């Protein structure tokens, strides 16, 4: 006979970034928190995503620099020690998990971690390892997993995902990457720089379609110059294995062709981990894509159940999930505050080299000639620091309200774009105008000077149309 355990003030399903942010927020308010996690503490970002991938991206960039130092009169040589490379990756992951997650628990005695899979058997009851845990408040932050496609032959062919490829101890000799988004570009460029022959296969007519074409096409050209082969506009029809090769058969403009490599990486986005949560039993509504549907206060369709992070859909980035969890917990314990999520000011980045970054109103249907806005584009060639570090590929796009010059959005491709975009995020949040940005003194030489120069270009446009 199953026994009901003493209820916690809040039970959190998941043990990643969003889950821990919510747990700390609740514990800081004196709550007793139970985290239910069946995998490794730290979730996708720490164990299989951001930390391991960005570690390898950093090492690959260093290796790329070493191989090109002769252009500057520096005689260097270097070979890849794969054993040491992957040992450093594992060490970094363990260090981040221990310091930011497992080690942090000692400072919060009100947080308990229970190892096991959690599944709702009622709106107020979670089954974990055959035992029932009840609470008046639940936060579902179980994250997501790599999305797969229903392509004939794919299952039989076998493929790597963004998770499994980072657990390898060897590099593929050649690789087909199916997808042209964030994961595909980060992984494809990194592996190419470490010596893998990479072909990116994308169904759209350009890479990273969420960004302005002027930026994505600059990066496409850079990838090709580094030896990455890119196939656009491809409809993948089937896959199969032939000896030690994976073969993709596709079609482009009614013309069929095949591509082959030693391995296939599926990099087509993230699917929500909702299939084993008992959402139907609890009455939790899902979106058409299978994510948990939430309102602006991160509440679900069921009273007493909130959700945060990747399991609720985009933006699929760890800091956004952490913020959502904090908002959810605040609304649990202080419903009168009605805290709401507004991701219009949430920045995101793509950790290619150079980096992409964006914040503000930009969408895939972005129309720079809209009557309500004015935009200005600055090529990174205009920024002195880009010449100093010899990283001139890129640009900055600034968008402002035509009526008052208020900064609405920024897109960027360039060295340290992920750092520079934070200044734009703060400016948008504080209601600054492009006039304010243009009049702000910058550090010199610095890539961030480009944000000021782009703002000045936008000011000139505003003055022309006023």
Could you read off the pLDDT of 307-351 as tens digits, one per residue? 999 999 988 999 999 999 999 999 999 999 999 998 888 999 999
- Residues 364 and 453 both lie in one domain: yes
pLDDT band at 396 (very low <50, low <70, confident <90, very high): very high
- Residues 122 and 220 both lie in one domain: no
More confident: 65 or 9: 9
Q: How many helices (H) and strands (E) does the chain have?
A: 13, 23
- Residues 217 and 326 both lie in one domain: no
Phi first, then psi, for residue 75 (nearest 5°) are: -85, 105
Instruction: Provide the pLDDT for residue 1.
Output: 34
Q: pLDDT, tens digit, for every residue of 183-220?
A: 999 999 999 999 999 999 999 999 999 899 999 999 99
- Residues 94 and 117 both lie in one domain: yes
Phi first, then psi, for residue 91 (nearest 5°) are: -65, -40
Q: For the chain, what's the residue count?
A: 466
Q: Which of 311, 341, 371 is the last residue of a domain?
A: 341
- Residues 302 and 350 both lie in one domain: no
Mean pLDDT, residues 368-382: 83
- Residues 295 and 371 both lie in one domain: no
- Residues 30 and 75 both lie in one domain: yes
Q: Indicate whether 74 pLDDT > 70.
A: no
Strands (DSSP E) found in 141-262: 144-146, 174-178, 197-201, 229-231, 235-242, 245-252, 255-261
Mean pLDDT, residues 386-394: 94
Phi first, then psi, for residue 431 (nearest 5°) are: 75, 25
Q: pLDDT, tens digit, for every residue of 240-296?
A: 999 999 999 999 998 999 999 999 999 999 999 999 999 999 999 999 999 999 999
Q: Indicate whether 358 pLDDT > 60.
A: yes
Least confident range of 37-51, 73-87, 357-371: 357-371
Task: Supply the mean pLDDT for the chain.
Answer: 93
User: Rounded distance, CA 184 to CA 210, Å?
Assistant: 14
Number of domains present in the structure of the chain: 3
Structure token digits, residue 219 = 């990066």
- Residue 58 region, left (φ>0) first, then alpha (ψ -120 to 50), else beta? alpha
Does residue 288 contact residue 183 with C-beta atoms inside 8 Å?
no
- Residues 430 and 441 both lie in one domain: yes
Instruction: Provide the pLDDT for residue 351.
Output: 97
Instruction: Provide the pLDDT for residue 77.
Output: 65
Does residue 22 contact residue 326 with C-beta atoms inside 8 Å?
yes
- Residues 247 and 316 both lie in one domain: no
Q: What is the CATH number for 383?
A: 3.30.390.30
Tell me the β-bridge partners of 406: 433
Q: Indicate whether 365 pLDDT > 70.
A: no
Tokens 């990273």 map to which residue?
208
Q: Which of 221, 238, 268 is the last residue of a domain?
A: 268
pLDDT band at 80 (very low <50, low <70, confident <90, very high): confident
Instruction: Provide the pLDDT for residue 465.
Output: 78
Q: Indicate whether 76 pLDDT > 70.
A: no
- Residues 184 and 55 both lie in one domain: no
Mean pLDDT, residues 168-182: 95
Q: What percent of the chain has pLDDT over 70?
A: 94
Tokens 């913020």 map to which residue?
323
Structure token digits, residue 376 = 């200005």
Helix-helix angle 417-429:449-465, to 10 degrees: 50
Tell me the β-bridge partners of 247: 240, 260
Contacts 24+ apart (CB under 8 A), 289-292: 289/313, 292/140
Strands (DSSP E) found in 253-372: 255-261, 263-266, 270-272, 305-307, 348-350, 355-360
pTM of the predicted model as reported, rounded to 2 decimal places: 0.93
User: Rounded distance, CA 142 to CA 307, Å?
Assistant: 9
User: Rounded distance, CA 63 to CA 65, Å?
Assistant: 5
- Residues 424 and 304 both lie in one domain: no
Instruction: Provide the pLDDT for residue 363.
Output: 43
pLDDT band at 6 (very low <50, low <70, confident <90, very high): low
Q: What is the CATH number for 181?
A: 3.50.50.60
Does residue 133 contact residue 14 with C-beta atoms inside 8 Å?
no
- Positive/negative CA dihedral, 173, 394, 269, 65: positive
Q: Which of 341, 363, 388 is the last residue of a domain?
A: 341
Instruction: Provide the pLDDT for residue 314.
Output: 82
- Positive/negative CA dihedral, 140, 142, 145, 151: negative
User: Rounded distance, CA 187 to CA 56, Å?
Assistant: 9
- Residues 90 and 24 both lie in one domain: yes
- The sheet with strand 125-128 has its strands ordered as 4-5, 131-134, 125-128, 118-122
pLDDT band at 73 (very low <50, low <70, confident <90, very high): low
> For residue 419, what are the domain limits?
345-465
């Amino acid at each position: 006979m199953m026994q009901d355990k003493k209820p916690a003030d809040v039970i959190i399903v998941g043990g990643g970034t969003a889950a821990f942010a919510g747990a700390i927020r609740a514990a800081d308010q004196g709550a007793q928190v139970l985290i239910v996690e069946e995998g490794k503490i730290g979730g996708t970002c720490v164990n299989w995503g951001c930390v391991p991938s960005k570690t390898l991206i950093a090492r690959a960039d260093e290796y790329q620099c070493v191989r090109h130092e002769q252009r500057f009169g520096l005689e260097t040589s270097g070979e890849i020690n794969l054993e040491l490379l992957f040992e450093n990756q594992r060490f970094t992951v363990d260090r981040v998990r221990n310091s930011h997650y497992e080690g942090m628990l000692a400072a919060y005695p009100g947080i308990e971690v229970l190892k096991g899979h959690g599944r709702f058997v009622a709106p107020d009851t979670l089954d974990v390892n055959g035992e029932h845990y009840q609470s008046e408040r639940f936060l579902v932050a179980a994250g997501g997993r790599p999305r797969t496609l229903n392509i004939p032959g794919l299952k039989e062919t076998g493929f790597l995902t963004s998770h499994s490829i980072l657990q390898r101890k060897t590099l593929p000799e050649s690789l087909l990457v199916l997808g042209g988004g964030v994961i595909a570009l980060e992984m494809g460029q990194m592996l190419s720089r470490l010596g893998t022959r990479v072909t990116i296969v994308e169904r759209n007519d350009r890479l990273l379609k969420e960004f302005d074409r002027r930026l994505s096409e600059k990066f496409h050209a850079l990838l090709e110059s580094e030896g990455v082969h890119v196939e656009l506009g491809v409809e993948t029809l089937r896959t199969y294995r032939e000896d030690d090769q994976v073969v993709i058969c596709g079609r482009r403009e009614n013309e069929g062709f095949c591509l082959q490599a030693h391995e296939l990486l599926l990099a087509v986005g993230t699917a929500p981990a909702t299939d084993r949560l008992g959402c139907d039993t609890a009455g939790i509504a899902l979106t058409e894509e299978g994510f948990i549907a939430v309102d602006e206060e991160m509440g679900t369709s069921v009273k007493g159940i909130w959700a945060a992070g990747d399991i609720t859909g985009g933006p699929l980035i760890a800091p956004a999930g952490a913020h959502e969890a904090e908002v959810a917990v605040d609304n649990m314990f202080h419903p009168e505050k009605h805290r709401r999520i507004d991701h219009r000011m949430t920045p995101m980045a793509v950790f290619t080299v150079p980096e992409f970054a964006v914040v503000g109103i930009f969408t895939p249907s972005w129309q720079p000639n809209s009557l309500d806005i004015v935009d200005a584009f600055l090529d990174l060639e205009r920024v002195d620091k880009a010449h100093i570090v010899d990283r001139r590929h890129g640009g900055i796009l600034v968008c402002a309200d035509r009526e008052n010059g208020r900064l609405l959005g920024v897109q960027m491709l360039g060295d340290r774009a992920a750092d520079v975009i934070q200044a734009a995020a703060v400016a948008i949040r504080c209601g600054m105008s492009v006039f304010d940005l243009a009049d702000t003194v910058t550090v010199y030489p610095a890539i961030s000077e480009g944000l000021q120069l782009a703002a000045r270009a936008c000011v000139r446009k505003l003055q022309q149309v006023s």
